[in-house]
Amino acid sequence: MGNDQIISRTRVFIENKFSGEGSGHDWWHIYRVWKLSILINETEKSADKFIVELGALLHDIADWKFHKGDLEAGPKAASEWLTSLKVKEEVIKQITDIVGNVNYKGAGVKPSMTSLEGQIVSDADKLDAMGAIGIARAFAYGGSTDQPLYDPNVKPVMHKTFEEYKMNKSHSINHFYEKLLLLQGHLYTNTAKDIALQRHRFMEDYLKEFYKEWEGQA
């Protein structure tokens, strides 16, 4: 099976699996990460396009947030899918490394992606958690897990470990301070850093307006 056919089959598989998902981790999130990954790769011009596309399409195949905190669920699911397509073992290893390391794991946890292909997918995933789309996804996810919109009495926590981040229960506005506003400093590629500038400013402006309206101001 050729690379184009593997990408095509994987796209259909993932679209069918995640269409209609309501937490902000749906097919259209994966679609945007896929397209952003292609865009970043075209600018950086030094990564394997096939690995980038396949990693982007499979990056959320089994997110730990929906699998009882299991970080191995994603790599395992990706490996099973690629094995069913008879993909080469060396490619499977590259993809499972991307899937296993793409997620944000807390403010104090350093990003651990080593390959350029993985860094591109990681950057695309983080960009989709920023800006207007990122705000919408934050509240979609918060609603899906019964998080309050905001509680001024509950302050943000800068989690030092993945376990702290995984176990944290808070509200959606704190998610901005515990993750979204920190993503700009967790990016790898210059292309993603340039894209992030406007998205970061948009989130800051949104929070200013949110707090003003929260206090009942005109």
119: CATH:
1.10.3210.50
- pLDDT for 63: 86
- pLDDT for 216: 86
| CB 46 within 8 Å of CB 116 | yes
- pLDDT for 205: 98
| CB 99 within 8 Å of CB 54 | no
- pLDDT for 132: 98
- pLDDT for 44: 87
Within the chain, what is the greatest distance between any pair of CA atoms? 61
Sign of CA dihedral 15, 99, 137, 165: positive
- pLDDT for 28: 97
Closest CA to 34 of 7, 13, 9: 7
- pLDDT for 105: 86
pLDDT in tens, the chain (218 residues): 899 999 999 999 999 999 988 888 999 999 999 999 999 999 988 899 999 999 999 999 998 887 777 888 999 999 999 999 999 999 999 999 999 999 888 888 888 898 999 999 999 999 999 999 999 999 999 999 899 999 999 999 998 888 888 788 899 999 999 999 999 999 999 999 999 999 999 999 999 999 999 988 76
Collapsed DSSP state (helix, strand, coil) of residue 1: coil
- pLDDT for 87: 97
**Number of independent structural domains in the chain:** 1
| CB 24 within 8 Å of CB 136 | yes
* Residue given tokens 């970043």 in the structure block: 40
Query: Element (H or E) spanning 98, and its range?
Result: helix 89-101
Supply the range of the domain harboring residue 136: 3-214
